[in-house]
A and B are shown apart, each in its own frame.
Chain A
């Protein structure tokens, strides 16, 4: 499987109402030779039953849409890293990578990318929420339904949102990524309100489960460059996967990582074990019927498929101890039930 993220988009669906947004115009211009197909609502293409996520993943189309309804929502507890008010927003659905454990495969019927072009509406909501929670900072997590940076050359997300968050002293934003797309961040002023959080798994898991994701070494270098420029950076070991030799693999990852990243200036590290809601899990398992990842060690518990308690304790406990050799414990967040 190739590790090059390509933006070879040859089909773009455009909601009629999205056409006149500046971002839509930019994207259509960039992909002027693609097929431009007008639709009334992105759901006509994206939400249909009977699509094959796995098949589409090899050749996704892009859908330009206008987000309606709620723009910013309360963040799931596993995202919290010490803030009191936590929210997430999704300017985009799906991402160019193809991690076998990704819950988006189970959540969506389609692997096409949806890019919401009405960024101003997201910003208005963010501004309102920070006003309401005026006593404490509000945290906004951007990489829930997508990778925050992987599509940045097309979505221009960083240029639109980072300066906006920087101006709002009560807002914090986490960009969560597996990419090396730091060009835009390198060109703008550093702000302490925006945390660049990089997700990692051990080398073996990266190679065999994270298809099209850049190699760990390249991402560590990208992260080091950002840290060197003064950006607050964070590490997400989530999801942790259980496999033969995971411990050695993980220790090696930490050695490689903390050789280049100064733990003293690290914002936070979070550690969480693999888990997936039952209905998503069943769908993903049927997409990949011979994938051993969806078999070994997993149990149905609390509406999720997750590792049994022994494995979870082993994974989280040992990972915490390994990370603790480099990072102070008060900056390590372990996600347990």
Chain B
């Protein structure tokens, strides 16, 4: 799975489900939606719910290290007006003072802001930053499953000192999130997914059946096989070792050692 969305509320999820044309997977709790390359989990409110939903989604879809994870949700702010969208650049857990720092591997037009993670709804907004209840836990959980650089959090301001959270309805939340999606897709989702897809294309698996039919490979040797085949292809105009040249090998390790020594004798060609 390439892209994972993590949202707390159904009303935040609704516009994302529509935008990416996701379908519900039945019988899952928390509720999960997906298409071929994008999925979304509705976590419920709070850090604990968020962290466990991230773990659940990663397990359910067997997500690998190279997936993009994005948390989208509403937040409060002292002065930012309702509807302002921000990419989180630092999250501080107010209770402990601990902070974490997302790493953005490109420039973006999305404004960036600090964020404070609290365990109950905030009305004072004493610090100059976004206030919300999931992102700290989201980052910590998602970093366990993928590369730090691919995990980000987007917040849309729903309330401030003048426009309180009490005045907000589900449909307002949906439209606040929905109105920013195209911009978030263009300036965050697409560039992140491009980076990941480019890297994935380099590590795409070769057809190893030819070799696994002939020899028995343990799990470790399968990994070694993939690496060696990639290296062989890199040095041989994308050709793979001809099985006929190695028919004297009785075991997988003999074959791997032989191919490896063959590679070590090569000279590389720089162009």
7 A-B pairs within 8 Å (CB atoms) are namely A39-B90, A50-B143, A50-B146, A58-B105, A243-B269, A290-B231, A296-B267
Binds A, one of B34-42, B74-82, B96-104, B153-161: B96-104
Binds B, one of A40-48, A141-149, A225-233: A40-48
B103 neighbours in A (Cβ, 8 Å): 45, 51, 56, 61, 110, 112
Q: Mark B27-52, 1 if CB is under 8 A from A, else 0.
A: 00000000000000000000000000
Contacts of A297 in B (CB 8 A): 264-268
In the assembly, what is the distance between CA of A296 and CA of B259, in Å?
Answer: 11
Interface mask (B130-145 → A, CB under 8 Å = 1, otherwise 0): 0000000000000100
Chain B residue at minimum C-beta to C-beta distance from A242 = B267
Interfacial residues of chain A within 59-113, with CB under 8 A of chain B in the complex? 59, 61, 110, 112
Does chain A have a CB within 8 A of B195? yes
Which residues of A (285-324) have their CB < 8 Å from a CB of B? 285, 289-299, 308
* Contact yes or no, B230 A308, CB < 8 A: no
The complex places the Cα of A289 from the Cα of B100 at a distance, in Å, of 30
Residue A220 is within 8 A (CB to CB) of chain B in the complex: no
CB pair A44 B147 closer than 8 Å: no
Contact A289 to B101, CB < 8 A, known contacts A37-B90, A296-B267: no
Let me know if A289 and B202 touch, CB within 8 A.
yes
CA distance A244 to B195 in the complex (A): 32
Measured CA separation A169–B104 after assembly (Å): 46
Contact A308 B264 (CB under 8 A): yes
14 extra interchain contacts, Cβ-Cβ under 8 A, other than A39-B99, A50-B146, A296-B267? A8-B107, A39-B90, A50-B148, A51-B147, A52-B148, A55-B149, A55-B199, A59-B104, A61-B103, A243-B268, A290-B202, A290-B234, A295-B266, A297-B266
Interface string of B80-121 (1 = CB under 8 A from A): 000000000110000000011101111100001010000000
| Interface: A208 (CB within 8 A) | yes
Q: Is the CB of A295 within 8 A of B263?
A: yes
Majority DSSP secondary structure for residues of B touching A: mixed
Tell me which residues across on chain B come within 8 A of A55, comparing CB atoms: 105, 147, 149, 195, 199
Q: Are B270 and A295 in contact (CB under 8 A)?
A: no
Of the candidates A8, A48, A204, the one whose C-beta lies within 8 Å of that of B270 is A204
Q: Which residues of B contact A (CB under 8 A)?
A: 89-90, 99-101, 103-107, 112, 114, 143, 146-149, 195, 199, 202-203, 227, 230-231, 233-235, 263-271
Chain A residues with CB under 8 Å of B90's CB are 37-39
Contact of A56 among B101, B105, B146, B199 (CB under 8 A): B105
- Cross-chain contact A11 with B203 (CB below 8 angstroms): no
Cα separation A48 to B269 with both chains bound (whole Å):
36
Contact of A244 with B267 in the complex, beta carbons under 8 Å: yes
Query: Contacts A37-B101, A44-B99, A308-B264; is A205 near B270 (CB within 8 Å)?
Result: yes
Q: Is the CB of B230 within 8 A of A289?
A: yes
Q: Are A48 and B148 in contact (CB under 8 A)?
A: yes
Number of A residues contacting the other chain (C-beta, 8 Å)? 45
A35 at the interface (CB under 8 A from B): yes
Say whether A209 faces chain B, with CB atoms less than 8 Å apart.
yes
Q: Inside 8 A of A244's CB, which chain B residues have their CB?
A: 267-270
With both chains docked as a complex, state the minimum distance between the C-beta of A71 and any C-beta of chain B, in angstroms: 26
A58 to B198, alpha carbons, bound, how many Å? 13
The answer to whether B104 and A52 touch across the interface, beta carbons within 8 angstroms, is no
Are B270's CB and A44's CB within 8 A?
A: no
Q: What distance in Å separates the Cβ of B87 from its nearest Cβ neighbour in chain A?
A: 10
Instruction: Determine whether the beta carbon of B234 is less than 8 Å from that of A295.
Output: yes
- Report yes or no: A11 in contact with B104, Cβ–Cβ below 8 A: yes
Look across to chain A and name the residue whose beta carbon is closest to the beta carbon of B235: A292
Roughly how many angstroms separate A204 CA and B267 CA in the complex, as a whole number? 14
**A10 located at the interface, meaning its Cβ lies under 8 Å from any Cβ of chain B in the complex:** yes
A290 to chain B: closest residue by CB: B234
Residue A13 is within 8 A (CB to CB) of chain B in the complex: yes
Q: Rank and list the top 6 A-B pairs by shortest CB-CB distance, nearest first.
A: A296-B266, A204-B270, A295-B231, A208-B270, A292-B234, A292-B268
Smallest beta-carbon distance A60→chain B, Å: 9
B260 — nearest CB in chain A belongs to which residue? A295
Whether B149 and A51, one on each chain, are in contact in the complex, defined by CB atoms closer than 8 angstroms, is yes
A44–B92 alpha-carbon span in the complex (Å): 13
Given contacts A52-B147, A292-B235, A59 and B107 within 8 Å (CB-CB): yes
Which partner residue on chain B sits nearest A44 by CB separation? B101
